[in-house]
Amino acid sequence: MNRAFASFLVLVGFLVLVLGGCASQAEKPEVAEGPATGPTGSYGADTAGVQRESYADRPWDDPSSPLYRKVIYFDYDSSEIRSEFVPVLQTHAGYLASHPRTRVTLEGHTDERGSREYNLALGDERAQTVQRFFLAEGVRSDQLTTLSFGEEKPAAPEHGEGAWSQNRRVELAY
């Protein structure tokens, strides 16, 4: 990490303190009860299309920031962090360690092969592996939440190794 970037991070940290992590607030789902058609859950996490003049308060959305890379990929039926992704995670760990009020959700995903509940567990293992890495790098546990979607939310919907390799992943959701 170079000097200019370090001072940039200090500035970002200040802004994060001021703005108080409002970006990670989740909207409450609507849950209704009733026969047959029953409850529905709606969730609005869609932040795409929101124009920002500056990324100062969310450097992870800045394409020129090393924090912009927020997805790491896994081998089939494995929750081991591949060596090529260690620097990516170290960059995020360094940022989180120096910004203790910034919180991130580690979302584990799998490809579609095999059984769904096993994949839900595998996604959980992947998220927990990244969590353990961050804790070892000095991130505080209250900054981290793990979440598994198993194979339920593929990044690529096709059937084949091309799509599968993109779906075996942990996403960092700030």
Partner 1 sequence: MQRVTVPLLMLLVAWVGQTQAQLTIEVTGGVEGAQPIAVVPFGAAEGAIPPLDVGSVIAADLARSGRFRPMPTRDMLATPHTAAEVDLRDWRLLGMQHLAVGNVSPVGGGFNIDYVLLDVFSGDQLLGSSAKTTGPGMRYTAHRIADVIYEKLTGQPGVFSTRIAYVTDQGSGGRVTLRVSDADGYGAQTIVSSSEPIMSPAWSPDGQHLAYVSFENRRAAIYVQDLGSGRRDLVASHPGINGSPAFSPDGRLLAMTLSKGGNPDIYVLDVASRELRQVTDHLGIDTEPAWSPDGASIVFTSNRGGSPQVYKVSAAGGPAERVTFENDYNAAPAFSPDGRSLALVTRVNGQFRIGLLKLGGGGSMRIMSSGTLDESPSFAPNGSMIIYATQHNGRGVLAATSVDGRVSQRLSQDSGEVREPAWSPLVH
User: Binding segment for partner 1 among 6-14, 39-47, 51-59, 90-98 (CB under 8 A)?
Assistant: 39-47
Q: Are 168 and 76 in contact (CB under 8 A)?
A: yes
Q: How far apart are CA 103 and CA 174, in angstroms?
A: 6
Q: Give the residue, chosen from 91, 112, 155, 165, that forms a contact with partner 1 under the rule CB under 8 A.
A: 112
Q: Are 89 and 133 in contact (CB under 8 A)?
A: yes
Q: How far is the CB of 27 from partner 1 (least distance, A)?
A: 9
Q: How far is the CB of 33 from partner 1 (least distance, A)?
A: 6
Nearest in space to 96 (alpha carbons), one of 57, 143, 55, 130: 143
CA 147 to the chain's CA centroid: 9
User: Binding segment for partner 1 among 14-22, 36-44, 54-62, 95-103 (CB under 8 A)?
Assistant: 36-44
Interface residues with partner 1 (CB under 8 A) are 26, 29, 31, 33-43, 45, 77, 112-118, 120-122, 124-125, 128, 146-150, 152-153, 157, 159
